[in-house]
């Protein structure tokens, strides 16, 4: 199929997707649309909840497989919108709408790429395509469900807006809830044991906690205490309990378990991680897919944001049209030209591997 036809179909599909609200856990209708689009092109589809997946026509179990993945859920529009978030208008080369940049442009570009290769014979690799749900909330019913259903894959591309540069590493995220325990007493007398003071000591210990392994791509591990509250509101009562939250951004040189253990060793508060699912990831500079990107003149970098890449236990490259700086902003948009460039770039990169 000519690339220009793919460009046109991708833009029109994205406009239809934008017109359908698809907040995380509420993506049923966009899943229906993606499923219908694939089937209209003669592609059998598989579905697990709101995740849609398919394989190329001449799938061969004896060959290695490449995953093409992006998500179709969105955040809710923020209050700064002055346009209709679901209008999907094109003005001055910009396609406006909620989810247009994050990650609709990537999704339709990867879907068009999958369509390009779908019927080809004698490829060195199979292709597996997943349009995933619940990415914005790292939900349990998102890409993890689909990964349990699909055939084994060897490596993949995760579509997120990177200005079509190569995000070869991604920080992990761990949110930790902390509870400092004291003993209540009257603030006017020498009574009680102030849990807030204990918490402040622990906050300072966390702030000074050294992590010597600094990544060339992702920089140092960063711990930030972002929320703190006590269990009482009276000004004259020494608080018996103080709760605080630690946002942990972890580079690829540490495991989440290592970072958690380091914190436990320097605090007196009880620490509980909410999840250890969003792990830091990296793909080697020497990987053939990265080398193919470099051959196209692309640059490599480490991404501070998280994505479905964190759920994948095989090498993945995060790359896609659009700009991460536009994600979750009012009057979100993607340039129509970026979608065409995304399709062309994906195909140029993959041609080096599969031909």
Q: Which tens digit of pLDDT belongs to each residue from 59-102?
A: 999 999 999 999 999 999 999 999 999 999 999 999 999 999 99
Q: Which tens digit of pLDDT belongs to each residue from 132-165?
A: 999 999 999 999 999 999 999 999 999 999 999 9
Go through the domains of the chain in sequence order and give each one's CATH number. 3-170+280-354 (3.40.630.10), 172-273 (3.30.70.360)
Three-point CA angle 170, 171, 175, nearest 5°: 145
**How many H helices and E strands in the chain?**
8, 18
Q: Which residues contact 287 (CB under 8 A, 6 or more apart)?
A: 155, 315, 317
For residues 176 and 181, give the distance between their C-alpha atoms in angstroms, rounded to a whole number.
16
Provide, rounded to the nearest whole percent, the portion of the chain with pLDDT above 70: 100
Give residue 267's pLDDT band: very low, low, confident or very high (50, 70, 90): very high
Burial class (CB in 10 A: 0-12, 13-18, 19+), 140: exposed
Question: According to the model, what pLDDT value does residue 231 have?
Answer: 85
Question: According to the model, what pLDDT value does residue 200 have?
Answer: 97
- pTM score, whole prediction: 0.90
Strand order in the sheet with 90-91: 90-91, 94-96, 333-335
pLDDT for 177 beyond 80: yes
Give residue 236's pLDDT band: very low, low, confident or very high (50, 70, 90): confident
What is the C-alpha radius of gyration for the chain, rounded to an integer number of angstroms?
Answer: 23
CB atoms within 10 A of CB 190: 7
Give residue 192's pLDDT band: very low, low, confident or very high (50, 70, 90): confident
State the alpha helices, DSSP H only, in 150-184.
Answer: none
Question: According to the model, what pLDDT value does residue 286 have?
Answer: 97
Q: Does residue 101 have a cis bond before it (omega within 30 degrees)?
A: no
pLDDT for 189 beyond 80: no
pLDDT for 190 beyond 80: no
Provide, rounded to the nearest whole percent, the portion of the chain with pLDDT above 90: 93
DSSP structural state of residue 333: E
Mean per-residue pLDDT, 19-29: 98
Of 93, 104, 95, 82, residue with least CA distance to 21: 104
Question: According to the model, what pLDDT value does residue 1 have?
Answer: 62
pLDDT for 237 beyond 80: yes
pLDDT for 13 beyond 90: yes
Mean per-residue pLDDT, 2-8: 90
Q: Which tens digit of pLDDT belongs to each residue from 111-137?
A: 999 999 999 999 999 999 999 999 999
Of 136, 168, 173, 174, residue with least CA distance to 155: 168
Give residue 339's pLDDT band: very low, low, confident or very high (50, 70, 90): very high
């Amino acid at each position: 199929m000519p690339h220009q036809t793919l460009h046109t179909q991708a833009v029109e599909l994205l406009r239809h997707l934008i017109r359908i609200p698809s907040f995380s856990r509420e993506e049923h209708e966009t899943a229906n649309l993606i499923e219908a689009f694939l089937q209209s092109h003669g592609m059998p589809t598989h579905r697990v909840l709101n995740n849609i997946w398919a394989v190329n026509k001449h799938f061969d179990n004896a060959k290695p497989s490449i995953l093409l993945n992006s998500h179709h859920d969105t955040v809710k529009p923020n209050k700064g919108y002055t346009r209709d978030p679901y209008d999907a208008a094109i003005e001055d080369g910009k396609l406006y709408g909620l989810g247009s940049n994050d990650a609709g442009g990537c999704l339709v570009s990867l879907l068009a790429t999958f369509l390009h290769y779908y019927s080809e014979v004698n490829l060195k690799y199979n292709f597996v395509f997943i349009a995933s749900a619940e990415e914005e909330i790292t939900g349990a019913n998102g890409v993890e469900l689909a990964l349990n259903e699909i055939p084994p894959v060897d490596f993949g591309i995760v579509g997120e807006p990177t200005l079509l540069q190569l995000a070869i590493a991604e920080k992990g995220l761990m949110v930790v809830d902390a509870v400092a325990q004291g003993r209540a007493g009257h603030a006017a007398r020498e009574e009680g044991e102030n849990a807030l003071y204990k918490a402040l000591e622990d906050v300072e210990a966390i702030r000074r906690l050294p992590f010597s392994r600094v990544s060339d791509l992702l920089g140092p591990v960063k711990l930030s205490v972002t929320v703190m509250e006590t269990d009482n509101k009276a000004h004259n009562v020494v608080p018996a309990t103080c709760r605080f939250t630690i946002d942990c951004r972890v580079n690829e040189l540490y495991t989440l378990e290592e970072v958690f253990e380091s914190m436990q060793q320097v605090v007196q508060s009880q620490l509980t991680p909410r999840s250890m699912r969003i792990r830091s990831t990296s793909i080697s500079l020497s990987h053939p897919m990265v080398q193919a990107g470099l051959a196209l003149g692309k640059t490599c970098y480490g991404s501070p944001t998280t994505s479905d890449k964190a759920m994948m236990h095989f090498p993945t490259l995060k790359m896609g049209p659009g700009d991460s700086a536009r994600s979750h902003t009012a009057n979100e948009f993607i340039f129509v030209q970026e979608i065409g460039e995304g399709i062309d770039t994906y195909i140029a990169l993959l041609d080096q591997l599969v031909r």
